[in-house]
Structure 1
Amino acid sequence: MSDSSLDYERVERQMASADIESSGAEVHGILCGLICTGREDAQARWFGELFTEAQATDLLVRECAESLKRLHDATLAAVQGPGLGFTPFLPDDEKPLKQRARAVTDWCQGFLYGIGVAGLSSSHQFSAETQDALGSLTEITRMDLDQLNSGEEDEEALMEVTEFIWVAAMLVHSEMVVDETERS
Protein backbone atom coordinates (compact mmCIF):
# COMPACT_ATOMS: atom_id res chain seq x y z
CA MET A 1 0.00 0.00 0.00
CA SER A 2 1.90 2.94 -1.29
CA ASP A 3 -0.34 5.65 0.19
CA SER A 4 1.88 7.30 2.83
CA SER A 5 -1.18 8.09 4.94
CA LEU A 6 -1.52 4.32 5.40
CA ASP A 7 1.71 4.07 7.34
CA TYR A 8 1.10 1.45 10.05
CA GLU A 9 2.37 3.56 12.95
CA ARG A 10 0.46 6.64 11.80
CA VAL A 11 -2.79 4.69 11.51
CA GLU A 12 -2.24 3.20 14.97
CA ARG A 13 -1.72 6.69 16.45
CA GLN A 14 -4.93 7.87 14.77
CA MET A 15 -6.79 4.85 16.11
CA ALA A 16 -5.50 5.53 19.64
CA SER A 17 -6.64 9.16 19.32
CA ALA A 18 -10.07 7.87 18.27
CA ASP A 19 -10.20 5.55 21.32
CA ILE A 20 -9.91 2.35 19.28
CA GLU A 21 -8.04 -0.05 21.53
CA SER A 22 -7.29 -2.70 18.88
CA SER A 23 -4.06 -2.78 16.90
CA GLY A 24 -3.91 -1.76 13.26
CA ALA A 25 -3.30 -5.40 12.38
CA GLU A 26 -6.38 -6.61 14.25
CA VAL A 27 -8.56 -3.92 12.70
CA HIS A 28 -7.30 -4.87 9.24
CA GLY A 29 -7.92 -8.54 10.01
CA ILE A 30 -11.55 -7.74 10.84
CA LEU A 31 -11.90 -5.88 7.55
CA CYS A 32 -10.35 -8.75 5.59
CA GLY A 33 -12.68 -11.25 7.27
CA LEU A 34 -15.66 -9.17 6.19
CA ILE A 35 -14.38 -8.66 2.64
CA CYS A 36 -13.31 -12.28 2.16
CA THR A 37 -16.74 -13.57 3.21
CA GLY A 38 -18.30 -11.42 0.52
CA ARG A 39 -19.98 -8.76 2.66
CA GLU A 40 -20.93 -6.03 0.21
CA ASP A 41 -21.35 -3.65 3.14
CA ALA A 42 -17.96 -4.56 4.62
CA GLN A 43 -16.93 -0.95 5.27
CA ALA A 44 -20.20 -0.03 6.99
CA ARG A 45 -20.15 -3.22 9.08
CA TRP A 46 -16.47 -2.65 9.92
CA PHE A 47 -17.05 0.95 10.97
CA GLY A 48 -20.02 -0.23 13.05
CA GLU A 49 -17.63 -2.46 14.98
CA LEU A 50 -15.07 0.34 15.47
CA PHE A 51 -17.02 3.56 16.01
CA THR A 52 -20.11 4.70 17.89
CA GLU A 53 -22.56 7.22 16.49
CA ALA A 54 -21.65 9.59 19.32
CA GLN A 55 -18.07 9.74 18.00
CA ALA A 56 -19.16 10.95 14.53
CA THR A 57 -18.58 14.63 15.31
CA ASP A 58 -15.13 14.17 16.87
CA LEU A 59 -12.40 15.55 14.58
CA LEU A 60 -9.85 12.89 15.61
CA VAL A 61 -12.38 10.14 14.93
CA ARG A 62 -13.17 11.58 11.50
CA GLU A 63 -9.45 11.75 10.66
CA CYS A 64 -9.04 8.13 11.73
CA ALA A 65 -12.14 7.09 9.76
CA GLU A 66 -10.72 8.75 6.63
CA SER A 67 -7.49 6.76 6.92
CA LEU A 68 -9.40 3.56 7.59
CA LYS A 69 -11.61 4.24 4.56
CA ARG A 70 -8.44 4.48 2.44
CA LEU A 71 -7.24 1.21 3.99
CA HIS A 72 -10.62 -0.36 3.14
CA ASP A 73 -10.51 0.91 -0.44
CA ALA A 74 -6.92 -0.28 -0.99
CA THR A 75 -7.66 -3.69 0.54
CA LEU A 76 -10.89 -4.17 -1.41
CA ALA A 77 -9.18 -3.19 -4.67
CA ALA A 78 -6.32 -5.61 -3.96
CA VAL A 79 -8.63 -8.51 -3.07
CA GLN A 80 -10.88 -7.96 -6.09
CA GLY A 81 -8.09 -7.02 -8.47
CA PRO A 82 -6.24 -9.18 -10.94
CA GLY A 83 -3.13 -9.53 -8.78
CA LEU A 84 -2.42 -11.85 -5.90
CA GLY A 85 -4.75 -10.15 -3.44
CA PHE A 86 -3.99 -7.96 -0.48
CA THR A 87 -1.06 -7.66 1.88
CA PRO A 88 -1.85 -7.93 5.59
CA PHE A 89 -1.49 -4.52 7.26
CA LEU A 90 1.43 -5.15 9.60
CA PRO A 91 4.37 -3.19 11.06
CA ASP A 92 7.43 -2.70 8.87
CA ASP A 93 10.03 -5.47 8.70
CA GLU A 94 12.47 -3.19 10.53
CA LYS A 95 10.38 -3.41 13.72
CA PRO A 96 11.36 -5.92 16.42
CA LEU A 97 10.37 -9.53 15.75
CA LYS A 98 8.08 -9.78 18.79
CA GLN A 99 6.18 -6.64 17.75
CA ARG A 100 5.65 -8.03 14.26
CA ALA A 101 4.68 -11.45 15.62
CA ARG A 102 2.16 -9.82 17.98
CA ALA A 103 0.69 -8.02 14.97
CA VAL A 104 0.37 -11.32 13.08
CA THR A 105 -1.50 -12.90 16.00
CA ASP A 106 -3.69 -9.79 16.23
CA TRP A 107 -4.42 -9.93 12.49
CA CYS A 108 -5.48 -13.58 12.76
CA GLN A 109 -7.70 -12.81 15.73
CA GLY A 110 -9.28 -9.93 13.81
CA PHE A 111 -9.78 -12.04 10.68
CA LEU A 112 -11.57 -14.76 12.64
CA TYR A 113 -13.69 -12.12 14.36
CA GLY A 114 -14.51 -10.56 10.98
CA ILE A 115 -15.73 -13.92 9.70
CA GLY A 116 -17.79 -14.28 12.87
CA VAL A 117 -19.52 -10.91 12.49
CA ALA A 118 -20.01 -11.35 8.74
CA GLY A 119 -23.33 -13.02 9.48
CA LEU A 120 -22.83 -16.26 7.57
CA SER A 121 -25.81 -18.56 7.50
CA SER A 122 -25.76 -21.10 10.31
CA SER A 123 -25.96 -23.83 7.68
CA HIS A 124 -22.78 -22.64 5.91
CA GLN A 125 -20.04 -25.25 5.91
CA PHE A 126 -16.54 -24.36 4.80
CA SER A 127 -14.62 -26.96 2.81
CA ALA A 128 -12.27 -29.23 4.76
CA GLU A 129 -9.27 -27.31 3.38
CA THR A 130 -10.68 -23.96 4.51
CA GLN A 131 -11.67 -25.36 7.90
CA ASP A 132 -8.10 -26.57 8.37
CA ALA A 133 -6.75 -23.14 7.41
CA LEU A 134 -9.12 -21.42 9.85
CA GLY A 135 -8.05 -23.89 12.55
CA SER A 136 -4.43 -22.97 11.83
CA LEU A 137 -5.29 -19.26 12.15
CA THR A 138 -6.78 -20.04 15.56
CA GLU A 139 -3.54 -21.77 16.54
CA ILE A 140 -1.53 -18.74 15.37
CA THR A 141 -3.52 -16.54 17.78
CA ARG A 142 -2.07 -18.71 20.56
CA MET A 143 1.55 -18.31 19.43
CA ASP A 144 3.90 -18.04 22.42
CA LEU A 145 5.55 -14.72 21.72
CA ASP A 146 7.85 -14.99 24.73
CA GLN A 147 9.63 -17.94 23.11
CA LEU A 148 10.66 -15.90 20.06
CA ASN A 149 14.25 -14.85 19.55
CA SER A 150 15.60 -12.35 17.08
CA GLY A 151 17.35 -15.12 15.19
CA GLU A 152 17.13 -15.92 11.51
CA GLU A 153 15.12 -19.09 12.17
CA ASP A 154 12.32 -17.18 13.94
CA GLU A 155 12.42 -14.47 11.24
CA GLU A 156 11.91 -17.11 8.55
CA ALA A 157 9.14 -18.78 10.54
CA LEU A 158 7.31 -15.48 10.94
CA MET A 159 7.65 -14.81 7.23
CA GLU A 160 6.13 -18.23 6.48
CA VAL A 161 3.27 -17.62 8.93
CA THR A 162 2.62 -14.22 7.34
CA GLU A 163 2.44 -15.83 3.90
CA PHE A 164 0.13 -18.51 5.27
CA ILE A 165 -2.37 -16.02 6.71
CA TRP A 166 -2.64 -14.47 3.26
CA VAL A 167 -3.27 -17.92 1.74
CA ALA A 168 -5.91 -18.71 4.38
CA ALA A 169 -7.71 -15.43 3.73
CA MET A 170 -7.67 -15.99 -0.01
CA LEU A 171 -9.04 -19.52 0.51
CA VAL A 172 -12.01 -18.04 2.36
CA HIS A 173 -12.44 -15.43 -0.37
CA SER A 174 -12.21 -18.03 -3.11
CA GLU A 175 -14.80 -20.23 -1.42
CA MET A 176 -17.20 -17.47 -0.38
CA VAL A 177 -16.94 -15.02 -3.28
CA VAL A 178 -15.27 -16.56 -6.33
CA ASP A 179 -16.97 -19.99 -6.11
CA GLU A 180 -20.32 -18.33 -5.36
CA THR A 181 -19.97 -16.09 -8.42
CA GLU A 182 -19.15 -19.09 -10.61
CA ARG A 183 -22.25 -20.93 -9.36
CA SER A 184 -24.51 -17.97 -10.17
Structure 2
Amino acid sequence: MNSLPEPPDYSRFDQLLSSLHLQVGAAELHGVISALLCAAHTDAHVAWFEELFSELPNGDLLVKEMRRLLGQLYQITERQIGDEGLAFAPFLPSEDVPIEGRAQALSEWSQGYLFGLGMAGVTEEKLAEDGREVVADLTELTRLDYEQIESGESAEADLMELTEFVRVGALLVREELRPEEEASHEAG
Protein backbone atom coordinates (compact mmCIF):
# COMPACT_ATOMS: atom_id res chain seq x y z
CA MET A 1 0.00 0.00 0.00
CA ASN A 2 1.40 3.38 -1.01
CA SER A 3 1.38 6.00 1.66
CA LEU A 4 0.50 9.46 0.50
CA PRO A 5 3.11 12.19 0.88
CA GLU A 6 2.65 14.80 3.57
CA PRO A 7 1.50 18.29 2.57
CA PRO A 8 3.87 21.22 3.07
CA ASP A 9 4.18 22.77 6.50
CA TYR A 10 1.05 24.88 6.93
CA SER A 11 2.66 27.69 8.89
CA ARG A 12 5.56 28.07 6.46
CA PHE A 13 3.20 27.93 3.48
CA ASP A 14 0.90 30.58 4.96
CA GLN A 15 3.81 32.85 5.90
CA LEU A 16 5.21 32.61 2.39
CA LEU A 17 1.84 33.59 0.91
CA SER A 18 1.73 36.55 3.28
CA SER A 19 5.29 37.66 2.52
CA LEU A 20 4.46 37.68 -1.19
CA HIS A 21 1.42 39.87 -0.39
CA LEU A 22 -0.95 37.45 -2.08
CA GLN A 23 -4.55 38.08 -1.11
CA VAL A 24 -5.22 34.48 -0.11
CA GLY A 25 -4.24 32.36 2.88
CA ALA A 26 -3.15 28.74 2.89
CA ALA A 27 -6.50 27.34 4.02
CA GLU A 28 -8.53 29.36 1.51
CA LEU A 29 -6.15 28.45 -1.31
CA HIS A 30 -6.47 24.76 -0.44
CA GLY A 31 -10.24 25.09 -0.39
CA VAL A 32 -10.16 26.42 -3.96
CA ILE A 33 -7.84 23.63 -5.11
CA SER A 34 -10.04 21.02 -3.40
CA ALA A 35 -13.22 22.30 -5.04
CA LEU A 36 -11.64 22.39 -8.49
CA LEU A 37 -10.49 18.80 -8.05
CA CYS A 38 -13.85 17.68 -6.66
CA ALA A 39 -15.56 19.21 -9.68
CA ALA A 40 -13.07 17.53 -12.06
CA HIS A 41 -12.12 20.96 -13.33
CA THR A 42 -8.43 20.22 -13.08
CA ASP A 43 -7.21 22.75 -15.63
CA ALA A 44 -8.85 25.78 -13.98
CA HIS A 45 -6.08 25.97 -11.40
CA VAL A 46 -3.48 26.81 -14.05
CA ALA A 47 -5.11 30.09 -15.05
CA TRP A 48 -5.88 30.91 -11.43
CA PHE A 49 -2.28 30.23 -10.32
CA GLU A 50 -1.02 32.47 -13.14
CA GLU A 51 -3.40 35.21 -12.04
CA LEU A 52 -2.18 34.88 -8.44
CA PHE A 53 1.43 35.34 -9.52
CA SER A 54 0.86 37.85 -12.33
CA GLU A 55 2.19 40.85 -10.38
CA LEU A 56 5.23 39.01 -8.98
CA PRO A 57 8.67 38.73 -10.62
CA ASN A 58 9.23 35.21 -12.03
CA GLY A 59 12.90 35.12 -11.08
CA ASP A 60 12.30 35.90 -7.40
CA LEU A 61 13.39 33.03 -5.15
CA LEU A 62 10.34 33.34 -2.89
CA VAL A 63 8.05 33.19 -5.92
CA LYS A 64 9.85 30.08 -7.18
CA GLU A 65 9.53 28.46 -3.74
CA MET A 66 5.84 29.36 -3.55
CA ARG A 67 5.20 27.92 -7.00
CA ARG A 68 6.99 24.71 -6.01
CA LEU A 69 5.03 24.36 -2.76
CA LEU A 70 1.77 25.19 -4.51
CA GLY A 71 2.43 22.49 -7.10
CA GLN A 72 3.27 20.06 -4.32
CA LEU A 73 0.07 20.91 -2.42
CA TYR A 74 -1.99 20.54 -5.60
CA GLN A 75 -0.52 17.12 -6.40
CA ILE A 76 -0.94 15.85 -2.85
CA THR A 77 -4.54 17.08 -2.73
CA GLU A 78 -5.28 15.45 -6.07
CA ARG A 79 -3.98 12.13 -4.77
CA GLN A 80 -5.80 12.47 -1.45
CA ILE A 81 -9.14 13.26 -3.07
CA GLY A 82 -8.82 10.26 -5.36
CA ASP A 83 -7.65 7.94 -2.58
CA GLU A 84 -10.08 5.15 -1.77
CA GLY A 85 -8.85 5.23 1.83
CA LEU A 86 -10.42 8.67 2.26
CA ALA A 87 -7.08 10.32 3.06
CA PHE A 88 -8.36 13.76 2.08
CA ALA A 89 -8.40 16.45 4.76
CA PRO A 90 -8.62 20.24 4.64
CA PHE A 91 -5.20 21.91 4.84
CA LEU A 92 -5.40 23.62 8.22
CA PRO A 93 -3.05 24.81 10.97
CA SER A 94 -1.74 22.34 13.53
CA GLU A 95 -3.34 21.88 16.93
CA ASP A 96 -0.71 24.06 18.61
CA VAL A 97 -2.35 27.11 16.99
CA PRO A 98 -5.00 28.68 19.26
CA ILE A 99 -8.54 27.51 18.52
CA GLU A 100 -9.57 30.92 17.16
CA GLY A 101 -6.89 30.65 14.45
CA ARG A 102 -7.88 27.11 13.53
CA ALA A 103 -11.56 28.06 13.40
CA GLN A 104 -10.73 31.06 11.20
CA ALA A 105 -8.75 28.80 8.87
CA LEU A 106 -11.67 26.36 8.63
CA SER A 107 -13.98 29.26 7.78
CA GLU A 108 -11.52 30.49 5.14
CA TRP A 109 -11.14 26.97 3.74
CA SER A 110 -14.92 26.83 3.32
CA GLN A 111 -14.89 30.21 1.57
CA GLY A 112 -12.18 28.97 -0.79
CA TYR A 113 -14.08 25.77 -1.49
CA LEU A 114 -17.21 27.70 -2.42
CA PHE A 115 -15.16 30.05 -4.62
CA GLY A 116 -13.56 27.04 -6.32
CA LEU A 117 -16.95 25.47 -7.02
CA GLY A 118 -17.99 28.76 -8.62
CA MET A 119 -14.81 28.83 -10.72
CA ALA A 120 -15.60 25.31 -11.89
CA GLY A 121 -19.10 26.38 -12.94
CA VAL A 122 -20.88 24.32 -10.30
CA THR A 123 -24.38 25.59 -9.66
CA GLU A 124 -27.01 24.34 -7.24
CA GLU A 125 -28.77 22.65 -10.17
CA LYS A 126 -25.74 20.39 -10.64
CA LEU A 127 -25.96 19.13 -7.07
CA ALA A 128 -28.41 16.74 -5.45
CA GLU A 129 -30.14 17.71 -2.22
CA ASP A 130 -27.26 16.49 0.00
CA GLY A 131 -24.73 18.50 -2.00
CA ARG A 132 -26.88 21.62 -1.81
CA GLU A 133 -27.10 21.16 1.97
CA VAL A 134 -23.31 20.90 2.18
CA VAL A 135 -22.94 24.12 0.18
CA ALA A 136 -25.49 25.86 2.43
CA ASP A 137 -23.67 24.67 5.55
CA LEU A 138 -20.28 25.75 4.17
CA THR A 139 -21.80 29.15 3.41
CA GLU A 140 -22.86 29.40 7.05
CA LEU A 141 -19.38 28.34 8.15
CA THR A 142 -17.88 31.27 6.24
CA ARG A 143 -19.77 33.50 8.68
CA LEU A 144 -18.31 31.79 11.75
CA ASP A 145 -17.55 34.27 14.53
CA TYR A 146 -14.21 32.69 15.40
CA GLU A 147 -13.17 35.63 17.59
CA GLN A 148 -15.90 34.71 20.09
CA ILE A 149 -14.79 31.09 20.51
CA GLU A 150 -13.56 30.32 24.00
CA SER A 151 -10.97 27.60 24.32
CA GLY A 152 -11.87 24.42 26.15
CA GLU A 153 -12.66 20.77 25.59
CA SER A 154 -16.17 21.49 24.31
CA ALA A 155 -14.94 24.02 21.76
CA GLU A 156 -12.17 21.65 20.64
CA ALA A 157 -14.70 18.85 20.17
CA ASP A 158 -17.01 21.17 18.22
CA LEU A 159 -14.17 22.30 15.95
CA MET A 160 -13.09 18.71 15.35
CA GLU A 161 -16.68 17.82 14.45
CA LEU A 162 -16.95 20.79 12.06
CA THR A 163 -13.64 19.87 10.43
CA GLU A 164 -14.82 16.30 9.89
CA PHE A 165 -18.12 17.59 8.48
CA VAL A 166 -16.21 19.81 6.02
CA ARG A 167 -13.98 16.90 4.98
CA VAL A 168 -16.87 14.50 4.42
CA GLY A 169 -19.00 17.23 2.82
CA ALA A 170 -16.30 18.01 0.25
CA LEU A 171 -16.06 14.32 -0.64
CA LEU A 172 -19.85 14.05 -0.88
CA VAL A 173 -19.93 16.98 -3.32
CA ARG A 174 -17.17 15.26 -5.31
CA GLU A 175 -19.22 12.08 -5.46
CA GLU A 176 -22.25 14.00 -6.73
CA LEU A 177 -20.23 15.83 -9.38
CA ARG A 178 -18.34 12.76 -10.55
CA PRO A 179 -20.81 9.84 -10.34
CA GLU A 180 -19.33 7.96 -13.29
CA GLU A 181 -15.93 7.89 -11.61
CA GLU A 182 -17.43 6.63 -8.36
CA ALA A 183 -19.33 3.91 -10.25
CA SER A 184 -16.13 2.71 -11.97
CA HIS A 185 -14.37 2.48 -8.56
CA GLU A 186 -17.21 0.36 -7.21
CA ALA A 187 -17.22 -1.91 -10.28
CA GLY A 188 -13.44 -2.34 -10.27
- Regarding TM over 0.5, the answer is yes
Contact 1:15 1:64 in 2 (8 A): yes
**Cα pair distance change 1:111/1:53, threshold 3 Å:** same
Write out aligned runs for 1:26-65 (5 A). Answer: 26-52=28-54, 55-65=57-67
2:181 counterpart residue number: 181
SS at match of 1:150: coil
Q: TM-score, normalised by structure 1?
A: 0.89
Partners in 2 of 1:16 and 1:135 — Cα distance?
A: 29
Q: Number of residues paired by the alignment?
A: 181
The correspondence for 2:18, drawn from 5, 16, 19, is 16
Identity between Structure 1 and Structure 2 (%) = 39
Could you report, residue by residue, the CA deviation over 1:115-168 in whole angstroms, capped at 9, with x for unpaired residues? 011134x69421011001110000011111132100111111000000000111
SS at match of 1:149: coil
Partners in 2 of 1:27 and 1:183 — Cα distance?
A: 29
Q: TM-score, normalised by structure 2?
A: 0.87
Aligned-pair Cα RMSD in Å: 2.2
**Cα pair distance change 1:79/1:182, threshold 3 Å:** closer
SS at match of 1:33: helix
Partners in 2 of 1:88 and 1:124 — Cα distance?
A: 25
Contact 1:43 1:69 in 2 (8 A): no
Structure 1 residue 79 corresponds to structure 2 residue 81: yes
Structure 2: gaps (5+ residues) = none
- 2:22 counterpart letter in structure 1: I
Structure 1: gaps (5+ residues) = none
2:170 counterpart residue number: 169
Partners in 1 of 2:99 and 2:111 — Cα distance?
A: 18
